[in-house]
Structure 1
């Protein structure tokens, strides 16, 4: 087995600095003497090595998973070694969590070709080499994910998040179609899912794993609206709330939320706890005083959340919500597209977190609380712009939230309700106008980072925003892929598919 020094030799910035027998403490002491830039470089280099090692580990996990299938019984690899499953064997060997072991097994199996490999590790026979069916098997829709993982553009966690989010191809309703039409429809579906995978691979470097999963799930629902409604209704049927008493005698509760309930709970929590979680600073005097009081509150966030839920329940019983929320009422804002011909999209999404819901849910909310119309182009850029005042109006903030979907800073997943509107043209220095196309949503932290850290953002007309580091390095602030799908900005526009009855 390689020693610590052998592994450290693979890191260029550390190479030659560690003596034989040096351990982690020695390496850390050496890094304490390095410049900031070199320490970051060490982290980047170790991440690159770790990603390559993980590829090998994931590949081994996939083979173990295949050789441990249930149909092999006690002769399967994991069973023969006394483990219930491949994940249990992987967890035992790697010391990882059960969730991580299952992920490695899933990703590893997905990397394998569909054709079965040699049984029990036997070497492939000469007659097997080059053998193929008369008709070549098309590559799976997640082939772009395979390629990106193998060439280092994706980690296994990103691969798993995108693949799970996009799910499986919809079954094509074969009733009115002949065999050729069915085959054509299936190929169109495969191509559409592959294109979505490529879009998300391009975004992976700028998104968290959690946001990649949510975007993939929402894109899947936009491509498959009927399947989206079925999945929504299934989760709705699975909603539950129960109480039970723990061994210590304290009463506890457990909830399984449907999609709409999930959004509502998140919005309620955000409205009440946003000052603690880093919400926007630009609020009126009363709200600023309330935010300061909440920040200084000695209760933990979990205790505050519990008290909030109890207050909401009491407010519902007493119909006195103002005592709970003050002027900042909680509510879920949904976005639904209507094309130039007046046709309404069959899938809507939430302004925060970009969670998809059936169009019927949005229509129900319109009846209940009304709607605000925002005219946008195919890239989500609002067309009604140009306000001659210092701050963005509430309607302009709605338009920015619809276009940006949250903080646009690279790698940030803060939702729109946590963001502040930044003018990329300074009001005094650049004589900037408060136009929507010259504004961008940034969370409080990244807004302060930009103003106090020497960063800046530029934009040519309505092209992508560009983030400039003080060193001169630039980053394109890509729009979220799910919004590109929602506005029909994919060329050609993605097809919608009908699942089997």
Structure 2
């Protein structure tokens, strides 16, 4: 077996050990299930990396310049992607992705035949080590290709190293969040053009069919932020009322699903806008939070962000939104409010909660948006006499809050203020080494 296949051989050995003597997965213990899942993940990532290498080789041997000597044509296929898709059972799009990743991470040669490093060597190393899969690699490569002419080679190489490292242990969905932030970081001047492109596609379509009214909306972040905040506030208020109900299992109890609640919220808000003279319906303190660095706001450069939206917004959009009602502009870099109350107050103040939202981005453990979380003391107020300070606070959704307390997880905060990092430390039965897992926005934040 070649040295190149050693990591895959090791992963298969781990898989055999984890599966042990069980006939099928139903006989595996919980620990074996976790170990088997981890080993399968490693096998999958490593086989995908090898598949991409082979795909790049097939594509090279099937290039159009070879004419009838093209490998794909000799095998009876139109091109390399069709050959790979048909013989492996994957889709043509997936085969094309393997070719793209393989070509971007394969060694190259100059005109004299001398070997050159891969176009993206850091991604190549992460792939070959089984640290990331081809889905993550493809997303990183696409981003680097888009910005490579807009940044210096040194900046591009540093970004590649950082992204390959940050993408480890992230789902593909989380890698997309990471790269959305990374693109704004690498190409801040491109935020406004991309924003305008999305804005140009905004639309609302309405029609009736089969007795139902259908509403489809596509909005940019600036237009959609207030709508999202208002609907989310209504839903949060309804959940709070449901939680306080005397008998949640009563026949007339509220059993609406989240989509149903959101539909009702839109109806209530529109009915209010049509002429209700009373105050707006309870929205559980719904606000739109727009954040921006002070220097960027002053200079008119960089970009900002809005709670609940992954896509950054331009400085122009920040200024327009900050001038609107119901929008709180959170300018980072100032200390105009007291954020640490020690033991003088038991409950976190609105300003502290906003600061925690800046640090954690929502539930620091699972990533649910801020409106679905509560501020909790890490060291309990009564039991541990924990202070009501930022360094002793964390935003958690109800589910993660129970998970922390019921299953023995610990939380550690390193640093101070909104730049601090939140770490979740698993109990020994989850990880015998108790290796801390990074939480909050730091999972997706890139250093400038």
Tell me the TM-score normalised to structure 1 length.
0.70
Corresponding residue SS for 2:324: helix
Q: Does 1:435 align with 2:371?
A: no
CA distance in 1, matches of 2:394, 2:178: 20
Q: Deviations over 1:405-438 (max 9, x none)?
A: 23322xx332223222221222122211101122
How far residue 229 of structure 1 moved from its aligned partner, in angstroms, is 1.2
Corresponding residue SS for 1:433: coil
Q: Does 1:202 align with 2:165?
A: yes
Q: Equivalent residue for 1:220?
A: 183
CA distance in 1, matches of 2:285, 2:278: 8
Q: Equivalent residue for 1:468?
A: 425
Q: Deviations over 1:374-395 (max 9, x none)?
A: 6559xx9x98423521111111
Correspondence list, 1:72-471, <5 A: 86-97=80-91, 100-113=94-107, 115=109, 131-132=113-114, 140=119, 142-165=120-143, 168-169=146-147, 171=149, 189-242=152-205, 255-261=217-223, 263=225, 266-268=228-230, 270-273=232-235, 288-289=244-245, 297=254, 301-318=258-275, 326-328=282-284, 330-339=286-295, 342-343=298-299, 345-369=301-325, 371-373=328-330, 376=333, 384-387=339-342, 388-409=344-365, 412-459=366-413, 462=416, 464-471=421-428
> Is contact 1:13–1:38 with CA below 8 Å preserved after alignment?
no
> Is contact 1:199–1:481 with CA below 8 Å preserved after alignment?
no
CA distance in 2, matches of 1:273, 1:67: 57
How far residue 52 of structure 1 moved from its aligned partner, in angstroms, is 1.7
Structure 2, unmatched stretches of 5+, are: 1-10
Between structures 1 and 2, the one with greater strand share:
2
Corresponding residue SS for 2:364: coil
Q: Equivalent residue for 1:120?
A: none
CA distance in 2, matches of 1:62, 1:45: 26
> Is contact 1:336–1:344 with CA below 8 Å preserved after alignment?
no
Cα 1:446–1:87, aligned 2, differ >3 Å: closer, same or farther?
A: farther
How far residue 362 of structure 1 moved from its aligned partner, in angstroms, is 0.8
Corresponding residue SS for 2:16: coil
CA distance in 2, matches of 1:300, 1:372: 32
CA distance in 2, matches of 1:372, 1:74: 63
Q: Deviations over 1:35-61 (max 9, x none)?
A: 321222122222222222222222233
> Is contact 1:352–1:415 with CA below 8 Å preserved after alignment?
yes
Corresponding residue SS for 2:305: strand
1:59 corresponds, among 53, 61, 75, to 53
Structure 1, unmatched stretches of 5+, are: 1-6, 19-25, 117-127, 173-185, 495-501
Tell me the TM-score normalised to structure 2 length.
0.77
Cα 1:239–1:103, aligned 2, differ >3 Å: closer, same or farther?
A: farther
CA distance in 1, matches of 2:123, 2:414: 32
RMSD: 4.3
CA distance in 1, matches of 2:127, 2:340: 42
The more displaced of 470-479 and 301-310 is: 301-310
How far residue 260 of structure 1 moved from its aligned partner, in angstroms, is 3.0
Corresponding residue SS for 1:428: coil
CA distance in 2, matches of 1:391, 1:331: 20
> Is contact 1:158–1:209 with CA below 8 Å preserved after alignment?
yes
Instruction: Tell me: higher relative CO, structure 1 or 2? Use CA pairs within 8 A at least 6 residues apart.
Output: 1
> Is contact 2:378–2:393 with CA below 8 Å preserved after alignment?
yes
> Is contact 1:337–1:345 with CA below 8 Å preserved after alignment?
no
Cα 1:415–1:428, aligned 2, differ >3 Å: closer, same or farther?
A: same
Q: Equivalent residue for 1:477?
A: 438
Cα 1:297–1:62, aligned 2, differ >3 Å: closer, same or farther?
A: farther
CA distance in 1, matches of 2:19, 2:313: 52
Task: Tell me the matched-pair count.
Answer: 426
